[in-house]
């Protein structure tokens, strides 16, 4: 048994991490033969991408994906810790699984992802959730075959969580959700330690992947006909700092651009180390999409300081304006937290003013959620729940006005759209995303899926656009 440990998880060192290639031991290759699995994934793109690894590991062991949790032999929850409601969802699901297991006692139930890295969660699973057979963390996905083998023969709960990462894995098998759009990890972990955030504890120290491994992966995706890659990390702007003296995200973006992949996105960028060089590169290469997610979190410099964000409102706005000026048609989206423990009405009004000024193209807004173990958890909370909800509602109204204004600027324009798929509701309605990451619905034939087509925008709503295809040649290639 190995348990999560926040004291160790908090430590940041200068060590480099050994890199190994994943190989499935022969003795596990038949373990899942004739059996099925079901994975429920919560949280961010990093978790979705981990699920793509986990599915491939399970399938290399002979397991087959089940359509439905009720009939599968292994049920795995890949969990998220970011806010309390993510916790509640996972625990709610465990409640359902408990009932399921009363009728089918032989199913194996596992929990992984960020919640598995939380001391309190693992303690609770050990004490109150005996029907959970196994737990593993974000740092040791590669242990899954061995853990499954152990729980298949032993009746005791298997908890194998590493408090901090000890090595990096390459050649992880992948079962990608899409055959046109791919996630590619470039950096793991986060060293920013924003005072409200649990991620530095659950994902560990920043570790960049070697540039040659990233470029090899993207080159293979181009060869396989992929149209878009999203370079992933909790803080992609830190890319390379732990590995190279003079190779940064700007350099990596240039190299990825030269692979010829039609569309490149990246997320998430911390405003603090977003360099001018990055702006130049985005502006220079047509296949780097002019769409940047730049979380601001608050419009009050006082609150930003307490959040440990390392920039002031003025510095954020300077960067924001520079992006708007230098990158034609750029769209900028953001994340905002309301109700940070010390946030006053005045602070909140500054956030409203910033949102009004920026007219973000898209945004995610949240009510502050206390995370056990983070510094902000200890701050005295000044605001009632009711007031926090009021603030969120007021902010959302302003954000929505910005989204609509941003969408309306596209009315009558012809924009390139990568066709994602068919709308659930209608067989002839397709949907896709513009270069600027806006959702567009339009009529068209299924044969367009996976292509970049030109769409004329005919109607603009707050959350999406309607349009008609004006050219169905693959415009970017």
- What residue ranges bind ligand F3S (CB under 6 A)? 43-44, 46-47, 80-82, 113-114, 198-199, 202-203
Q: Does 391 bind ligand SAH (CB under 6 A)?
A: no
By beta-carbon proximity to ligand SAH, the closer residue of 392 and 475 is: 392
DSSP 210: P
Is residue 299 within 8 A of residue 352, CB to CB? The reply is yes
Q: Are 112 and 123 in contact (CB under 8 A)?
A: no
Confirm or reject binding of residue 366 to ligand SAH (CB under 6 A).
yes
Query: Rounded CA gap, 258 and 246, in Å?
Result: 19
* Partner that binds at residue 274, options ligand F3S, ligand SAH, ligand SF4, none, CB closer than 5 to 8 Å by kind: none
Work out what residue 200 binds among ligand SF4, ligand SAH, ligand F3S, none; the CB cut-off runs from 5 to 8 Å by kind.
ligand SF4
Nearest alpha carbon to residue 51 among 38, 61, 62? 38
**Contact, 74 vs 107, CB < 8 A?**
yes
Q: Based on CB atoms, which residue is closest to ligand SAH, 55 or 293?
A: 293
Distance CA 269, CA 275 (A): 11
Residue 102 CA to residue 92 CA, distance in Å, equals: 16
Residue closest to ligand SAH, measured at CB: 335
Q: Which of 101, 192, 211, 293 binds ligand SF4 (CB under 6 A)?
A: 192
Out of 136, 239, 368, 431, the only residue in the binding site for ligand SAH (CB under 6 A) is 368
By DSSP bridging, strand 19-21 and strand 168-170 are parallel
Q: Is there binding between residue 205 and ligand SF4 (CB under 6 A)?
A: no
For residue 114, the minimal CB distance to ligand F3S (Å) is 3
Chain residues 265-284 in contact with ligand SF4, contact rule CB under 6 A: 270
Distance CA 21, CA 50 (A): 16
Pairwise CA distance, residues 188 & 246, whole Å: 19
How do beta strands 429-434 and 331-338 pair?
unpaired
Nearest approach in angstroms of CB 230 to ligand SAH is: 14
Residue 194 lies near ligand SF4 (rule: CB under 6 A)? yes
199 is a contact residue toward ligand SF4 (CB under 6 A): yes
Choice between 196 and 320, CB closer to ligand SAH: 196
DSSP SS3 for 169: strand
Gap between the Cα atoms of 372 and 63, Å rounded: 36
- The residue count for binding ligand SAH (CB under 6 A) is 17
Indicate the residue among 83 and 324 with the shorter CB distance to ligand SAH.
83
Select from 138, 140, 248, 297 the one that contacts ligand SAH (CB under 6 A): 297
CB of 198 to ligand F3S, least distance (A): 6
Q: Considering only residues 206 through 245, tell me which ones interact with ligand SAH, judged by CB under 6 A.
A: 234-235
Residue 414's SS3 state is strand
- Are 334 and 354 in contact by the 8 Å Cβ rule? The answer is no
d(Cα 16, Cα 109) in Å, to the nearest integer? 34
Q: Is 335 in the site for ligand SAH (CB under 6 A)?
A: yes
State the residues that interact with ligand SAH by CB under 6 A: 82-83, 196-197, 199, 234-235, 268, 270, 295, 297, 335, 337, 366, 368-369, 371
């Amino acid at each position: 048994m190995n348990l999560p440990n926040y004291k160790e998880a908090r430590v940041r060192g200068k060590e480099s991490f050994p890199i190994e290639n994943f190989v499935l031991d022969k003795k596990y290759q038949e373990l899942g033969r004739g059996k099925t699995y079901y994975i429920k994934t919560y949280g961010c793109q990093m978790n979705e991408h981990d699920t793509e690894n986990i599915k491939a590991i399970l399938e290399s062991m002979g397991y087959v994906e089940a359509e439905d949790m009720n009939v599968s032999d292994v049920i795995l929850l890949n969990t998220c810790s970011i806010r309390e409601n993510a916790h509640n969802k996972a625990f709610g699901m465990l409640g359902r699984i408990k009932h399921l297991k009363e009728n089918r006692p032989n199913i194996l139930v596992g929990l992984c992802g960020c919640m598995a890295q939380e001391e309190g969660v693992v303690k609770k699973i050990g004490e109150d959730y005996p029907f959970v057979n196994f737990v593993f963390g974000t740092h040791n996905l590669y242990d899954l075959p061995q853990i499954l083998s152990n729980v298949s023969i032993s009746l005791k709960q298997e908890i194998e969580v590493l408090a901090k990462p000890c090595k990096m894995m390459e050649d992880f098998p992948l079962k990608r959700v899409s055959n046109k759009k791919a996630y590619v990890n470039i950096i793991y972990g986060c060293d920013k330690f924003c005072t409200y955030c649990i991620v530095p504890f659950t994902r560990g120290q920043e570790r960049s992947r070697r540039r040659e491994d990233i470029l090899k992966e993207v080159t293979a995706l181009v060869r396989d006909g992929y149209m878009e890659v999203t370079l992933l990390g909790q803080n992609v702007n830190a890319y390379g700092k732990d590995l190279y003296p003079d190779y940064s995200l700007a350099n990596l973006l240039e190299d990825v651009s030269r692979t010829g992949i039609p569309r490149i996105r990246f997320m998430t960028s911390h405003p603090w180390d977003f360099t001018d060089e990055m702006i130049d590169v985005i502006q220079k290469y047509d296949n780097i999409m002019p769409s940047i997610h730049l979380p601001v979190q608050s419009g009050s410099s006082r609150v930003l300081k307490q959040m440990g964000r390392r920039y002031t409102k003025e510095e954020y706005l300077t960067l924001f304006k520079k992006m708007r000026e230098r990158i034609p048609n750029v769209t900028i989206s953001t994340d905002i937290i309301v109700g940070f423990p010390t946030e006053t009405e005045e602070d909140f009004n500054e956030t409203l003013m910033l949102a009004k000024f920026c007219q973000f193209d898209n945004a995610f807004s949240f009510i502050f959620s206390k995370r056990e173990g983070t510094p902000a958890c200890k701050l005295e909370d000044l605001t009632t729940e009711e007031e926090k909800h009021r603030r969120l509602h007021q902010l959302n109204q302003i954000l929505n006005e910005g989204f609509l204004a941003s969408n309306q600027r596209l009315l009558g324009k012809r924009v390139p759209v990568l066709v994602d798929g068919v709308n659930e509701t209608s067989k002839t309605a397709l949907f896709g995303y513009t270069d600027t990451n806006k959702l567009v619905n339009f009529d068209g034939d299924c044969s367009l899926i996976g292509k970049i087509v030109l769409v004329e925008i005919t109607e603009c709503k707050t959350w999406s656009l309607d349009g008609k295809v004006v050219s169905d040649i693959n415009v970017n290639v």
